[in-house]
């Protein structure tokens, strides 16, 4: 009796699975606030150099006075006429500013005056956040395969709390950078470990529409909550305190969430796996006989012995993926996809300023695209498969991103606010589907025995590539359409790489490396289109690229597409 069969007896769409989805929803709220807190604390409102003669003037008058200068935000005035029609610039450096606070919110940049010549300082902190995410994703991914998913998940969220809370007391570039590095250690690791757990415990019907709808809906609530929590409290330090404390509540997951039974099997802790499954059955109020668990034990022992013999009596290492040609090819393709999609996602998702409307409003509008994108992603993956979803939406998003960049390049965004916002939101909608589909597609292709480490490495590669995001945007100062052209080409390149990978929908996925080497063997680039023309539905042996013999073999399974 394989894992899928024993899990069905214990319950794979019942009380425990809905508990997992509820906890995942809570996690998405606090994680979205954590991940985008850097943006919220560093919003920069309209600002102008201070002059005593401007104290009694309205913001409109101040803006009109400074409009005649090339750098209105950073030009210090020497003198101003009474009517404001004639003003002269001072060669001295500006060290005090007038801020037009958006909804009265005081950000870190306005309090510390990190604008103009010191505007690079928040970017340094953001860079260190990504450095931390690279280190943290790798470390916690390794820990996830060593000490278990739950313990690694809790440790990651503790790092997130420590980093965000310590940022409250930052008053210099050094202290700010260190605290952002610690905060970044949690980024991504504090979510994908729980994601892996859910994939291993819930039924196919919940994995697609249910899981992605929960992800999109609660991530949306977190983003909207982050925006308007900042407006409500009015100060960036109070906002960080309020948004970081909920990360500590993830510690309670230790008592509520069962460790991955399949991970325990790969560690030869079959007794531990059976204990977790018995707890799941108890929560779901299912009666499972001892004979069923004995059959599952025998199945696990047989497959583990085969894997140990194949691995020369040693624990499977991540680098073992590179020792066979097909697994090596798959590994490099997955790395390429994440190197492409992650910087594109960060470039689009964080682009909420300079669009002609309040960044708080734009943040909320961006968030509202997530529930429908999550639902549509799950629906498409269920109907047309992972591969078709990832490929099509990478191409579509490339067109949306290019359109938004070209509109912005035409001149002042104020002249094209509605069109620019519409295209930006369309790109945000598309990149959410493309990113989510690629993440799930990649997770399914990595065998269970190295899944935690494998997912960590591809995410590390993506975060490392995210350093390119600001440079992509900076190219617009030399050639305005350049960023949009680059994003479009990157999305098309990502779509092509996805075409080279096998479909995972309705397949028994690999647990050990030997199974990963054989997975999708013989499948061609466009075979998934033939399945679509046949009307989808459950995979047949021939249409799915799986032989009848392979269909009959028992394969320990992490996820059914």
pLDDT at 307: 61
Q: What is the CATH number of the domain that holds 183?
A: 1.20.1250.20
Read off the DSSP letter of residue 442: H
The answer to whether residue 561 scores a pLDDT higher than 70 is no
Query: What whole-number distance in Å separates Cα of residue 229 and Cα of residue 463?
Result: 27
Q: How many other CB atoms are found less than 10 A from the CB of residue 527? A: 16
Q: Residue 167 — very low, low, confident or very high, per pLDDT cuts 50/70/90?
A: very high
23 and 152 together in one domain: yes
Residue 440 lies in a domain: yes
Identify whether residues 33 and 156 lie together within a single domain: yes
Question: What tokens does 516 get?
Answer: 């990963």
Distance separating alpha carbons of residues 14 and 174, to the nearest angstrom: 50
* Coil vs helix vs strand at 560: strand
Q: 187-198 in b/e burial notation, b at 16+ Cβ within 10 A?
A: bbbbbbbbbbbb
Q: Where are the alpha helices (DSSP H) in 284-416?
A: 290-310, 325-349, 359-368, 370-383, 386-408
CB–CB of 558/448 below 8 Å?
yes
Based on the fold, state whether residues 392 and 331 are members of the same structural domain: yes
pLDDT digits 0-9 by tens, 59-68: 888 888 887 7
Looking at the fold, whether 140 and 233 belong to one and the same domain comes out as yes
Domain check: are 165 and 133 in the same one?
yes
Domain ends where: 221, 248, 275?
248
Residue 265 has pLDDT above 60, yes or no: yes
- Does 311 have pLDDT greater than 70? no
Quickly list DSSP for 408-422: HTTS-GGGGHHHHHH
**Nearest-5° angle of CA 178, CA 180, CA 334?**
120
Q: Is 92 exposed, middle or buried (0-12, 13-18, 19+ CB in 10 A)?
A: exposed
Q: Which residues neighbour 346 within 8 Å (Cβ) at sequence distance 6 or greater?
A: 466, 469
How many domains does the structure of the chain reveal? 4
Q: Token digits for 116?
A: 């103009």
Whole-number percent of the chain with pLDDT over 70: 85
Q: Judge whether 103 and 231 are in contact, CB under 8 Å.
A: yes
Helices and strands, number each (H, E), in the chain: 27, 4
pLDDT at 440: 78
In a domain, 289, yes or no: no
- Cα dist from 488 to 91, 185, 355, 373, whole Å: 42, 30, 20, 20
In a domain, 501, yes or no: yes
- Looking at the structure, tell me whether residues 66 and 157 fall in a common domain: no
Q: Is residue 31 part of a domain?
A: yes
Token pair for residue 254?
């230790």
Q: Same domain, yes or no, for 491 and 399?
A: yes
Domain end marker among 220, 248, 276:
248
Same domain? For 126 and 27 the reply is yes
Residue 323: burial class (beta carbons within 10 Å; 0-12, 13-18, 19+): exposed
How far apart CA 353 and CA 356 sit, in angstroms, is 8
Which pair of structure tokens corresponds to residue 124?
A: 């340094």
Render pLDDT for 513-534 as a digit per residue (tens, 0 to 9). 777 777 777 677 776 676 666 5
Q: Does one domain contain both 19 and 56?
A: no
Q: How far apart are CA 108 and CA 115, in angstroms?
A: 10
21-51 pLDDT, tens digit each:
999 999 999 998 998 888 889 888 888 888 8
124 plus 51 within the same structural domain: no
In a domain, 303, yes or no: no
Whether the per-residue pLDDT at 57 is higher than 50: the answer is: yes
> Are 160 and 95 in the same domain?
no
DSSP secondary structure letters along 18-75 = HHHHHHHHHHHHHHHHHHTHHHHHT---EEEE--GGGTTS-HHHHHHHHTTSSSTTTP
Q: Do 351 and 455 have their domain in common?
A: yes
Cα–Cα distance between 331 and 457 in angstroms, integer? 10
Cross-strand pairs, 159: none
On the 0-12 / 13-18 / 19+ scale of CB atoms within 10 A, 133 is buried
257 part of a folded domain: no
Q: What domain range includes position 555?
A: 533-560
**pLDDT tens figures, 533-557:** 655 554 333 333 333 333 333 322 2
Assess contact for 487 and 424: CB atoms under 8 A.
no
In a domain, 291, yes or no: no
As a whole number of angstroms, the distance between CA 67 and CA 86 comes to: 11
What's the DSSP call for residue 521?
Answer: T
| Domain end residue (candidates: 248, 269, 295) | 248
Tell me whether residue 444 is in a domain. yes
């Amino acid at each position: 009796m394989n894992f899928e069969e024993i899990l069905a007896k214990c319950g794979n769409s019942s009380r425990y699975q809905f508990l997992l989805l509820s906890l995942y929803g809570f996690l998405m709220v606090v994680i979205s606030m954590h991940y985008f807190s850097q943006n919220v604390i560093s919003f920069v409102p309209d600002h102008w150099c201070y002059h005593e003669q401007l104290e009694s003037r309205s913001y409109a008058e101040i803006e009109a006075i400074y409009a005649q200068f090339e750098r209105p935000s950073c030009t210090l005035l020497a003198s101003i006429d009474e009517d404001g029609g004639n003003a002269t610039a001072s060669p001295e450096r500006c060290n005090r500013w007038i801020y037009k606070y958006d909804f009265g919110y005081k950000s870190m940049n306005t309090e510390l005056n990190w604008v103009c010549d010191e505007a690079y300082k928040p970017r340094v902190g953001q860079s260190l956040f990504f450095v931390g995410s690279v280190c943290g994703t790798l470390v916690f991914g390794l820990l996830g395969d060593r000490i278990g998913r739950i313990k690694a998940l809790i440790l990651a969220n503790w790092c997130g709390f420590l980093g965000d809370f310590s940022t409250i007391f930052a008053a210099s570039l050094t202290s700010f950078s260190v605290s952002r590095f610690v905060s970044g250690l949690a980024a991504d690791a504090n979510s994908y470990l729980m994601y892996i757990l859910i994939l291993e415990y819930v039924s196919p019907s919940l994995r697609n529409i249910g899981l992605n709808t929960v992800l999109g809906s609660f991530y949306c609530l977190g983003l909207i909550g982050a925006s308007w929590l900042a407006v409500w409290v009015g100060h960036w330090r109070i906002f960080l305190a309020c948004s970081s404390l909920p990360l500590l509540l993830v510690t309670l997951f230790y008592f509520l969430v069962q460790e991955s039974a399949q991970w325990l099997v790969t560690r030869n802790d079959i007794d531990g796996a059976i204990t977790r499954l018995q707890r799941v059955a108890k929560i779901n109020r299912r009666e499972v006989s001892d004979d069923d668990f004995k059959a599952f034990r025998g199945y696990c022992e047989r497959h583990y012995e085969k894997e140990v013999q194949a691995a020369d009596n040693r624990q499977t290492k991540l680098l073992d993926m590179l020792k066979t040609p097909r697994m090596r090819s798959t590994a490099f393709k997955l790395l390429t996809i994440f190197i492409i999609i992650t910087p594109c996602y960060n470039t689009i998702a964080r682009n909420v300023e300079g669009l002609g409307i309040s960044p708080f409003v734009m943040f909320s509008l961006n968030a509202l695209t997530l529930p429908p994108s999550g639902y549509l992603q799950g629906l498409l993956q269920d109907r047309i498969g992972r591969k078709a979803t990832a490929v099509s939406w990478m191409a579509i998003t490339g067109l949306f991103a290019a359109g938004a960049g070209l509109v912005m390049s035409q001149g002042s965004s104020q002249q094209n606010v509605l069109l620019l916002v519409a295209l930006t939101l369309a790109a945000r909608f598309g990149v959410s589907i493309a990113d989510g589909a690629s993440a799930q597609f990649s997770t399914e292709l990595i065998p269970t025995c190295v899944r935690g480490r494998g997912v960590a490495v591809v995410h590390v590669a993506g975060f490392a590539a995210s350093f390119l995001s600001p440079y992509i945007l900076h190219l617009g100062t030399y050639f305005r359409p350049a960023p949009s052209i680059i994003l479009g080409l990157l999305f098309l390149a990502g779509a092509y790489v996805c075409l080279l990978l096998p479909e995972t929908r309705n397949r028994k996925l690999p647990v050990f490396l030997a199974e990963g080497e054989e997975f999708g063997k013989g499948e061609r680039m466009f075979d998934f289109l033939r399945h679509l023309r046949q009307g989808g539905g459950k995979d047949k042996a021939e249409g799915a690229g799986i032989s009848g013999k392979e269909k009959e073999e028992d394969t320990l399974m992490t996820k059914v597409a």
